[in-house]
Structure 1
Amino acid sequence: MAEEGKVVRYFSRDFEWEELRDEVERNPKFGYHLFPFSLSLSSSSQVAADAEAWRSFHRRHSTGLFFKERRYLLKEFPELTALNDSIHVLEVGCGNGSTSLPILRAKQNVIVYACDCSQDALDKAGEMVASSNFPSIKRQFYPFLLDFSVNRFPDWLLCTACQKSSLEKQSLFTPDASGKAFIRLNGPSFLEAKCCIGGMDYVTLIFTLSAITFQRMSFVIAECMAVLKPGGLLLFRDYGLYDMTMLRFPPEQRVGFREYMRSDGTLSYFFSLDIVRKLFLGAGFIELELEYCCVLSVNHRSGKKMKRVWVHGKFQKPIVGSS
């Protein structure tokens, strides 16, 4: 279902991250980014404020034009279309559907479950999927409201009993609108009693983890681990240390170590490879890939060159009984 006749060319090694690091750390004007920071945003009131800031953000950008479809996604994570079997994907922090849409378009037998703390974002994601050139994908997309930074994923993704028994089989059921009963997929639409859908083959964290407080990141990653099937993959992409946007933040918007707050109250964290590795391996994941993507972007109007840095990672949930 991928668009025909279009070849995606994607470059991620336009410059060396180590050279950028040396350039930044030698420049006195960037010194304040390197200082230790002792204050914390871990209070429950601040976490609530973070979620409300993102809800307000999505209300302001309800047209959905702020986020472009992530066309590079399948090139960077070809695993999403490699399997012939039906697969279940959980997109954490789906926004307006810019990640869900290319996955749905590329594969007919994928079911995408997508959560966000903003109902406005979910509504827009549903509209984007419904208005795509592939009407059938509406039946493959199941958005649900959840502030995943403070709440556990619902049991219908993978219940506690099935987590304990390391359920690996693929389920053909999905929750109905009430979230309590289940409808058989690819078959008659009647309600069935089923404990859960059996877990996810993939979980995506695409520019999501950086939007919550650092103190809540381990909780979110542990929840992602819990709903993955054994052997399932977590696909990660987010802002990297010394990205252009980090260096643009003034000192007064620095609210933590490598953590910044925009004028609208939304957060942005910038990851080093060491921090990402510590977070995911600490949750029990196996590291498959972890690297900086360094892209030189040019403003054709002004001629200004901008050095963008993202972190790319793939992590696997251990298979039960494997060494």
Structure 2
Amino acid sequence: MEEDPEVPAQALPIRQKQPRQQLTKGMEHLRSYVIIPDTPPPTPPTILAKEESGDAHSDTYGVPATYQPIRNPSSAPKNDNPEKRSNPFQFGTRYLEEDSDIFSHNAWDHVEVDASYADFIEQQTLFQRSNQVSDFDKSRFYDAPEKWWDKFYSNNAANFFKDRKWLVQEFPVLGEVVKEGYGPMTVLEVGAGAGNTAFPLLGMNSNAELRLHACDYSKKAIEVIRSQEAYTSQPGPIPVLQADVWDVASPTTLPPGLEAGSVDIVLMIFIFSALSPAQWQQAVANVFTLLKPGGEVLFRDYGRGDLAQVRFKKGRYLEENFYVRGDGTRVYFFEEGELRRIWEGEEQVGDSGQSGKVVGEEDEKRNGSVGFEIVDVAVDRRMLVNRQRKLKMYRCWMQGRFRKPLTGPKQADQEQKEKICDDSGQ
């Protein structure tokens, strides 16, 4: 483009680089809870009195005492390399201690929120509950949830989520089954999305007898997986990775290519939260049906009080701890005890108000009942710190391992009777 000859070059305005926005519009209501100010506000008289008496923390590193995360005593064990932990459910050992510089790391483990922030969560929940989604819109979000995920993946393709490189750290068994010579192993990922779990496993795999099945109820998500070069260029006559459309809450079908009792490991990474409470029973029953006796579910999802839950404003609340995002996709936030009850097969009450065990009729005939053994369930609490923008964000995730019993109760009873008869010589 030619310059205007009547306008001197030096008169042209110089466009200044705009600083990055500190908070989005949707997070403005959280400002006082996530911002670490350069100059802390005046300390309330009640806190000041405690500080003078030595009973409270003074303001340090720009974090007001009234909003500080709870810090551990300085004698707490230190380890600045949490990746070396031996127990994957330990979730790191980077403790925020009394003398820790909050800006020395981007994340701190096992961080509990202080009383003022906990009170804010409670007040925010009351606000959300009193400003629910309309009955008309609820029917839209409940009737065909897969269409909202189709739209999501149409808009974002494979660019929204990052590959889950932490999988082997959190679930070490995945690092074993991909090793050369491990032997026959069938892994099913439920809610595979764009393949951010399946493709990292495929890339690590040296086990010729590994079979990966990636399923999602979004047709568009499966199209995204099947369009990737890593999927289309799989060597050999039998592909390692197979991607198919399947709804884990389907009352009539199992995934293509899989039969009852044929799966060793089921991966459920941030997928159970997309189901409504009324779908949990059928989903758990389907997973139980697919697993071999002794097979396991590897589970990770959102925990109660996570920032993603707290930040919801009005018009997003569907039912208790269940929300709809702005793009129409849904998300639930779990507690530890709740997950234990769901996977152990205890009484449930869904949208319909009908209670009953998590059980499928065919499963009951085969195994006596549907109830998983809880190998591990743990809460992963972290505080993420953005040092440049001076933000702190409390995150909360749930992680679990649930095992299908080797024998069902009825089968175990029969085996015990046979053993007694053998021992008695009858």
**TM class, shorter-length:** 0.7 to 0.9
Instruction: Compute the TM-score of the two structures, normalised by the length of structure 2.
Output: 0.58
Query: Percent sequence identity over matched residues?
Result: 28
Q: Could you tell me which residue of structure 1 aligns to residue 183 of structure 2?
A: 85
Structure number with greater Rg is 2
TM-score (norm 1): 0.75
Q: Indicate yes or no: 2:89 matched with 1:26.
A: no
The corresponding residue for 1:294 is 381
2:149 match: 54
Closer/same/farther in 2, CA of residues 268 and 220 from structure 1, 3 Å limit: same
The answer (yes or no) to whether the contact 1:96–1:128 under 8 Å persists in 2 is no
**Inter-partner Cα distance in structure 1 for 2:125 and 2:191:** 32
> In structure 2, what is the equivalent of residue 68 of structure 1?
162
Corresponding residue for residue 404 of structure 2: 317
1:243–1:307 contact (8 Å) kept in structure 2: yes
What residue in structure 2 maps to residue 114 of structure 1? 214
> 1:103–1:46: structure 2 CA closer, same or farther, 3 Å change rule?
same
RMSD: 3.2
Call closer, same or farther: CA 1:155–1:119 in 2, change over 3 Å.
closer
1:154 Cα deviation after fit? 3.9
Distance 1:302 1:212, change over 3 A: same
Matched residues in 2 for 1:78 and 1:322: separation?
30
| Number of residue pairs aligned between Structure 1 and Structure 2 | 275
Distance 1:243 1:129, change over 3 A: farther
Aligned to 1:223: 286
Corresponding position of 1:194: none
Q: Please tell me whether the aligned partners of residues 24 and 242 of structure 1 are also in contact (alpha carbons under 8 angstroms).
A: no
Measured in 2, the distance between the counterparts of 1:293 and 1:234 equals 18
- Output one character per residue of 1:76-105: Cα deviation in whole Å (capped at 9) or x when no partner: 111123242221001001000001122222
| Residue of structure 1 in register with 2:298 after alignment | 235
User: Structure 2 vs 1, CA of residues 305 and 111 (structure 1 numbering), >3 Å: closer, same or farther?
Assistant: same
8 Å CA contact 2:225, 2:231 repeated in 1: no
Q: Which residue of 2 aligns with 1:143?
A: 243
Task: Assess if the C-alpha contact under 8 Å between 1:255 and 1:261 holds in 2.
Answer: yes
Q: Any unmatched runs of 5+ in structure 2? A: 1-81, 86-90, 94-107, 346-369, 414-426
2:283 aligned partner, one-letter code: V
Distance in structure 2 (CA, Å) of the matches to 1:254 and 1:116: 25
* 8 Å CA contact retained: 2:266, 2:298: yes
Q: Which amino acid counterpart does residue 99 of structure 1 have in structure 2?
A: T
Runs ≥4 in structure 1, deviation > 6 angstroms? none
2:187 aligned with 1:103, yes or no?
no
Question: 1:254 and 1:204 mapped to 2: Cα distance?
Answer: 28
2:128–2:317 contact (8 Å) kept in structure 1: no
In structure 1, stretches of 5+ residues that fail to align are 1-6, 164-198
